[in-house]
A = this chain, B = another copy of it.
Amino acid sequence: MRTRVFLVDDHELIRAGIRAALADAVEIVGEADEVDAAIAMILERRPDVVLLDVHLPGGGGRAVLAGVHAVDPAIPFLALSVSDAPEDVIALVRAGARGYVTKTIGAADLADAVRTVAGGDVVFSPRLAGFVLDAFRNLPPGTSEDPELESLTPRERQVLRLIARGYSYRDVGTELSVSVKTVESHVSAVLRKLQLSSRHELTHWAHERRLL
């Protein structure tokens, strides 16, 4: 019996490419181009594997994964992305994806990856495999989030976001209804904990981690 695959990607051209690549190897049981429809159809059709684009509008691929797994965590997801940024990989795997491949993959390799995930195994592109192993080795289960971001208090993260967006200390104070001195305290703590030395580096740091 052929592997039953569901496709989620907002680009018709890419879905067509995947269909063409997998047509001989698996059975495509459905497609969706946005979050809500994807969740509903996946739960209805129960595919063996969901092939999921990471960068969906309306919440991203993670929203689809979370929505489906809230009802049935047994349906395996294979994430497909143009990005191989570590943040994206980590986020998807922590959300429950059983694999992550980039769109540079060839048709034959993609078919193999789909069958592997359907069989219960885990798949990563060679360039990502080493990174993923590093990231999860020595981490107690249940640990999530970036360890540096983890060290910040809730208030500090709130201030961090506003500062990274270009707010002045005074603006942040007004926005959060506290004094400028309090904002200074939080920024100071953030800079110390992240080992940075100016709000400019902070902005750069936040952008790198997509915290906006």
Within the complex, the shortest CB–CB distance from A32 to chain B, in Å, comes to 14
Which listed residue (B15, B104, B203) contacts A12, Cβ 8 A?
B104
**A99 to B15, alpha carbons, bound, how many Å?**
23
Within the complex, the shortest CB–CB distance from A58 to chain B, in Å, comes to 14
Which listed residue (B10, B16, B105, B106) contacts A20, Cβ 8 A?
B16
Q: Tell me if A85 is interfacial: C-beta within 8 Å of chain B.
A: no
In the complex, chain B residues whose CB is within 8 Å of the CB of A157: none
For this chain, the copies found in one complex come to 2
**A166 to B196, alpha carbons, bound, how many Å?**
13
In the complex, chain B residues whose CB is within 8 Å of the CB of A66: none
Cβ proximity bits A107-118 to B, threshold 8 Å, 1 near / 0 not: 100100000000
Give the secondary structure class of A's interface. helix
**A15 to B12, alpha carbons, bound, how many Å?**
13
Chain A contact residue count (CB 8 A cutoff): 25
Within the complex, the shortest CB–CB distance from A111 to chain B, in Å, comes to 12
Q: Tell me if A128 is interfacial: C-beta within 8 Å of chain B.
A: no
Q: Tell me if A18 is interfacial: C-beta within 8 Å of chain B.
A: yes
Within the complex, the shortest CB–CB distance from A74 to chain B, in Å, comes to 27
Given A166-B201, A166-B204; A11-B107 close (CB under 8 Å)? no
Within the complex, the shortest CB–CB distance from A115 to chain B, in Å, comes to 17
Top 9 nearest A-B pairs (CB, nearest first) are A17-B17, A16-B17, A20-B20, A13-B17, A11-B103, A166-B200, A13-B103, A16-B20, A12-B106
